[in-house]
Amino acid sequence: MPIQSHMNRRKFAKTTVLAAAATAIVPGFISQCIKTPAPMKRIFGKLGFEVTTMGLGGQASLQWTPEGVDPVKIILKAFDLGINYFDTSNLYGPSQANFGKAFRIKNLIPGLSSYDETLRHSIFLTSKTHLRYAKGNGEVKGVNNWTNGEQGTHTIDDLHRSLSLMFGDGKGNYSKDAYLDMVLIHNLNTKEEVDALYEGLDKTDPNAERIGALAALRDYRDGTNLTGLNPRNEKLIRHIGFSGHFDPSVNMYMIQRDHTNLLDAMLVAINANDKLMFNMQHNVIPLAAAKNMGIIAMKVFADGAMYTKPAEWSNTPNHVVHTVGSESLPSQSLIKYSLTTPGIHLAIIGIGHISDNDKECQLTHNLAAAQILSAGLTDAERTIIEEMAKKVKEGKTNYFQTAALPLTASKEVSVVQKKETNVRSATLSWSTAYAGDAPIKTYEVWRDGTKIKDIPFTPQITINPFTYSESLNDKTAHTYIMKVSDGKGRIAESMPVTLEKMG
C-alpha cells in the first residue's frame, strides 16, 4: 500500500495555525520527520515513573500482522528510539508472543545469563485481562467475561499467560523473577462489571463462591494470599489499573468505588472527536487526575477510523492503517490534541508500518509529534483540530464510545433535617452531574426560588455524595433545587426536593 506523507510546511501553514506550535517543538518536523535523541518524558501520576509521552500500543501490526510486516522489528525500533512504555493484552492474539520474541533479542528474559536487569527496570510493561472474576463459574447478568479461549477462565490465568508468553516458554512456564509493571482490567462497559471486579475486596474470604479480579491482583501485587489464590505468595505485578473507551460514567464508578487507592492508572479513549460523544475529557479524566492516577490516552486516531479504516472494530490485517496521516488531517495534530488534554501523561499508539525512510515511518512520525508539553497547545489551537477531525466520516469516527449527552442535572438529590439545642439545620446531598461538551463550573443551591450558594465544581472522588448544610431560623417547609452550570453558560437543574416543616 503506498505511503501518504504529510503536507509540506508551507501548505500546512496555510491550512492551520498549528504549524508554528509543531515546528517550535520539533524543528523541521513537517517537511522531514526526525528522530528524537531523547524522547520527552512526564511523571506518570502517583506511580512516579518517568514515562515517554508516546508508548507502543500492542494492536495494529503487533496483533493483525499484514503480509510483509515484521512485528518484532516494530518493537525493536521502539526500543531504539527510546520509547519506554509498552502495552499489550491477553485479547490481542499474538501480540504478547511478539513482545516475547523482541524481549529475547533485547536480553530481557529473567533467569538467562544474558538478562539485562537495568534495561528491564527502565521500561514499563503493561498487559490486560478481560476476565472479571478470579474465582467462580457461571454467567452473571451484565458481566462480559471474555477470554482468548486458552488456558483458563479466571484473572490469574491471564496473568500467568502474559508472563509465559513474554518471559517464558509460552506454555505456562516463566522465571520466578519475571513480572509485569501493570495489569489493567480491560474494557469496562457496565456498572455490573465494576461490582463483579470489587467482589470480595473489602472482606476477602478464600471460601467465597466468587472472588473478583481486584482482590486476586492485589494478592499478586503484595505477595499476600488473602484470596487463597496465591499459595506461593508471589509478587508478579507492580501496579493495577483499568481501561475503558465506552462510557465515562462506568469509568467514574470504577474510580469512586476505590476507597483504598488500589487503582494506579487508567487507559482511556481520548481524541479530537471526544466532545462529539459522551466525552471523557470533562468527566472521568478530571476525576482520575484528582486521584493522581497515571492516565494513558488511547484511540488517538479513533482506532484508524480517522484515516483509511472503517468506523468499526478491527479484526483483520486489512484494517491496519499503513498511511502517515492525511493532508486534510495531519496525524501530528491528533497526537498533540490527546497529549495536551489536561490530565493525560502519555498516549499509546499502534503501529502499522515502519520504514528506514523517516518520511514514511509511522513510528518516527508519531514519536516526533509526541514531543509536546502538557500545555503545548492553546484552547484555540485545540478547537481548530476539533473542527478538522469532525469533518472525517461526518464526525462518526468514535464508534467505540457512548453517544453524546448534554449537561445533566445532579443525581440523587435529597435533603434531611435535624434539631440540636434548639438549632434547626438542613443538609442537602447530591451526586455528580455529567458534563456535555464543556466542563462543569459550579453547583448552585437554590432554596424557595432564591440562590443561596455557589459551590465550585470538583470531581466526586468516592461514591459518597456531596453535601451542603445550613442553619434555619424557622419551622416552615422549604423547597430545594440543585442547579449545575458549565463553561458555556448552560444550566441543568434537578427536580425539587422538599424539606418538611418541623413540628
pLDDT number for residue 36: 55
| 375: exposed, middle or buried (Cβ count in 10 Å: 0-12, 13-18, 19+) | exposed
359 and 444 fall within a common domain: no
Share of the chain above pLDDT 70, in %: 91
pLDDT at 26 over 50: no
pLDDT at 68 over 80: yes
pLDDT digits (tens, 9 = 90+) for 349-365: 999 999 999 889 999 99
Question: Where do the H-state alpha helices sit in 106-154?
Answer: 117-122
Averaged over 465-469, what is the pLDDT? 98
pLDDT number for residue 141: 77
pLDDT at 213 over 70: yes
pLDDT number for residue 173: 95
Q: Is residue 405 part of a domain?
A: no
| 478: exposed, middle or buried (Cβ count in 10 Å: 0-12, 13-18, 19+) | middle
Of 194, 290, 179, 309, which Cα lies nearest the Cα of 244? Answer: 194
Provide the number of structural domains found in the chain: 2
162 and 23 fall within a common domain: yes
**What Å distances lie between residue 175 and 5, 166, 168, CA to CA?**
44, 11, 7
* pTM attached to this predicted model: 0.92
pLDDT digits (tens, 9 = 90+) for 4-24: 333 333 333 333 334 333 333
Residue 27, domain extent: 9-395
Q: Is residue 1 part of a domain?
A: no
268 and 315 fall within a common domain: yes
Q: How many residues does the chain have?
A: 503
Contact criterion met (CB below 8 Å) for 349 and 54: yes
Q: Is residue 355 part of a domain?
A: yes
- The mean-pLDDT minimum among 143-157, 369-383, 444-458 falls in 143-157
pLDDT interval class at 93 (50, 70, 90):
very high
pLDDT number for residue 142: 76
pLDDT interval class at 273 (50, 70, 90):
very high
pLDDT number for residue 468: 98
How are beta strands 265-269 and 180-185 bridged, if at all? unpaired
Q: Is residue 2 part of a domain?
A: no
| CATH number of residue 258's parent domain | 3.20.20.100
With b meaning 16 or more CB within 10 Å and e meaning fewer, what string describes 439-465?
bbbebbbbbeeeeeeeeebebbbeeeb
283 and 431 fall within a common domain: no
**What Å distances lie between residue 286 and 128, 252, 281, 283, CA to CA?**
23, 10, 7, 6
Cell of 449: 426560588
CA 427 to chain centre: 35
Q: Is residue 400 part of a domain?
A: no
348 and 389 fall within a common domain: yes
pLDDT number for residue 451: 98
Report how far residue 441's alpha carbon sits from residue 432's, in angstroms, rounded to the nearest whole number.
Answer: 12
pLDDT interval class at 150 (50, 70, 90):
low
433 and 388 fall within a common domain: no
Contact criterion met (CB below 8 Å) for 166 and 96: yes
Compute φ and ψ for 333, nearest 5 degrees. Answer: -65, -40
Q: Is residue 406 part of a domain?
A: no
Q: Is residue 404 part of a domain?
A: no
139 and 54 fall within a common domain: yes
The C-alpha cell 536487569 sits at 117
| CATH number of residue 481's parent domain | 2.60.40.10
pLDDT number for residue 149: 55
Of 395, 420, 443, the one marking the end of a domain is 395
- The mean-pLDDT minimum among 25-39, 73-87, 88-102, 418-432 falls in 25-39
363 and 438 fall within a common domain: no
pLDDT digits (tens, 9 = 90+) for 117-138: 999 999 999 999 999 999 997 7
142 and 220 fall within a common domain: yes
pLDDT at 31 over 50: no
Of 390, 397, 370, which Cα lies nearest the Cα of 437? Answer: 390
Report how far residue 417's alpha carbon sits from residue 424's, in angstroms, rounded to the nearest whole number.
Answer: 7
117 and 208 fall within a common domain: yes
Averaged over 416-439, what is the pLDDT? 95
What is the greatest pairwise CA distance in the chain?
A: 83
pLDDT at 406 over 80: yes
pLDDT at 469 over 70: yes
Where on the phi/psi map is residue 362: left (φ > 0), alpha (ψ -120 to 50), or beta?
alpha
Report how far residue 276's alpha carbon sits from residue 262's, in angstroms, rounded to the nearest whole number.
Answer: 32
Report how far residue 446's alpha carbon sits from residue 455's, in angstroms, rounded to the nearest whole number.
Answer: 11
Contact criterion met (CB below 8 Å) for 29 and 39: no
pLDDT interval class at 29 (50, 70, 90):
very low
Q: Is residue 234 part of a domain?
A: yes
Angle of helix 213-222 relative to helix 155-167, nearest 10 degrees?
A: 50
129 and 236 fall within a common domain: yes
444 and 490 fall within a common domain: yes
pLDDT at 144 over 90: no
pLDDT number for residue 38: 84
**At residue 109, what is the residue type?**
I
Mean pLDDT of all residues belonging to the chain: 91
Of 395, 425, 455, the one marking the end of a domain is 395
